[in-house]
Structure 1
Amino acid sequence: MGEIVLARVDDRLIHGQVMTKWAKGMNTNSIFVVDNATASDPFMKDIYMMSTANSGMTIKVFSTDEVVEYWKNENFGKYRAILLFKSIAAVKEVIDKGLPIKKLNLGGIAKKKESKFILPNVAVKPEEMEVLKEISGKDIEVFFQIVPDTKYVSLKDALKSY
């Protein structure tokens, strides 16, 4: 049976930090991009799937519904996966549909109108903080961290300064 090692919200999806720090540091063998727009764009899907051809890492691209079905039908097979999302809303959707996420890392969310920085390069809107509180209420560890060797901020601590 496979395992969800970590779920991460990073609007850049796959990039160097994810590959070198998170994926290799957590002994994973796969990265699953979970994004409806990317999954429905054959060109972008191919780019992501080919981007790590020499890394030994398996890359799959799913819509939110497809990743939930893959878990329900296959339990992710032999994969120890990091799930990468572009948005907090997409994470909430898959959790609500039964995906057993235990750790949610927020590590790369660009500043938008009404959002506030929790860490450099990680900005969250008030309504997104409410969703994160709901997610953490489901016994899921929610935290902010750019890479594993940088400052860790729990949701509880982030809420104090938000």
Structure 2
Amino acid sequence: MPITFVRIDDRVIHGQTVTRWATQRPCDAILVISDKVAADDLRKKVLKAAAGHLKLGVYTVQQGVAALDKARASKHNFFVISDSVEEFAALKRAGGDFGKVLNVGNLSATRPGTKNLGNAVCINDEDVKCFDYLAEQGVDLQFQMIPDDGVRTWSTLKAKYQSL
């Protein structure tokens, strides 16, 4: 079970990742899969510092497919994180196997057309399409900021989105 946690969080790596999630699940290294992050040298340096003692690899979606295969064959435990649902949908379409459960954390309202679903989850129509695609592919979408929070489901949040 080398991939122990898979998460969307637009902050990518931060205190909750290192101090909360990494103490709840085994983690030797973090794989960040994001075309945007992979193209941003400054952000990669900041993320490396935020990862602390954990090893860090940053990959584009295209590179991420091979990185996931290598991680699954490893004896080490990996977290897989991206900053958007679009990146995970693209990864899945490219044949990336990140498992059956995708945790969703912070999604800020900085993008156009977002609706606030509470507990730091703001999504737009494009996000809905991507979440629907992942759900159709059998991915269990679990909305949860920190391990102590209850899990909210995609069906519940989609209904809320449609009601706003």
TM over 0.5: yes
Corresponding residue of 1:4: 3
**Cα 1:98/1:46, change in 2 over 3 Å:** same
Q: Runs ≥4 in structure 1, deviation > 6 angstroms? A: none
Matched AA of 2:67 = Y
Secondary structure of residue in 2 paired with 1:119: coil
CA distance in 2, matches of 1:95, 1:84: 14
Q: Secondary structure at the match of 1:37?
A: helix
Query: What is the identity, as a one-letter code, of the residue corresponding to 2:56?
Result: I
Residue of 109, 113, 116 corresponding to 2:107: 109
- Equivalent residue letter for 2:106: G
Kindly indicate which of the two structures has a greater share of residues assigned to strand: 1
Gaps of 5+ in 1: none
CA contact (8 A) 2:103 2:144 kept: yes
Contact 2:69 2:97 in 1 (8 A): no
Match of 2:78 in 1: 81
- Alignment of structure 1 residues 126-137 onto 2, 5 Å: 126-137=125-136
TM-score (ref. length: structure 2): 0.85
Could you report, residue by residue, the CA deviation over 1:4-37 in whole angstroms, capped at 9, with x for unpaired residues?
Answer: 2222111111100111111221122221111223
Decide which moves more: 26-35 or 8-17: 26-35
* Conserved? CA contact 2:14–2:50, under 8 Å: no
Listed one character per residue, the Cα deviations across residues 44-64 of structure 1 (whole Å, up to 9, x for unaligned) are 3233224334x3x22211111
Deviation at 1:117, TM superposition (A): 2.0
For 1:17 and 1:152, locate their aligned partners in 2 and report how far apart those are by CA, in whole Å.
16
Q: Aligned runs of 1:139-154 on 2, under 5 Å?
A: 139-154=138-153
For structure 2, list consecutive stretches of 5 or more residues without a partner in the other structure. Answer: none
Which is worse superposed, 112-121 or 142-151? 112-121
Q: CA RMSD of the aligned region, Å?
A: 2.0
Matches within 5 A, 1:1-162: 3-53=2-52, 55=53, 57-72=54-69, 75=72, 77-101=74-98, 102-111=100-109, 112-162=111-161
Q: Distance in 2 between matches of 1:76 and 1:85?
A: 21
Q: Is the 8 A contact 1:8 1:106 kept in 2?
A: yes
Contact 2:30 2:57 in 1 (8 A): yes
TM-score of the two chains, using structure 1 as the length reference: 0.86
Q: CA deviation at 1:73?
A: 5.0
Counterpart-to-counterpart distance in 2, 1:120 and 1:103: 20
Name the stretch that deviates more: 108-117 or 14-23: 108-117
State the AA in 2 paired with 1:63. Answer: T
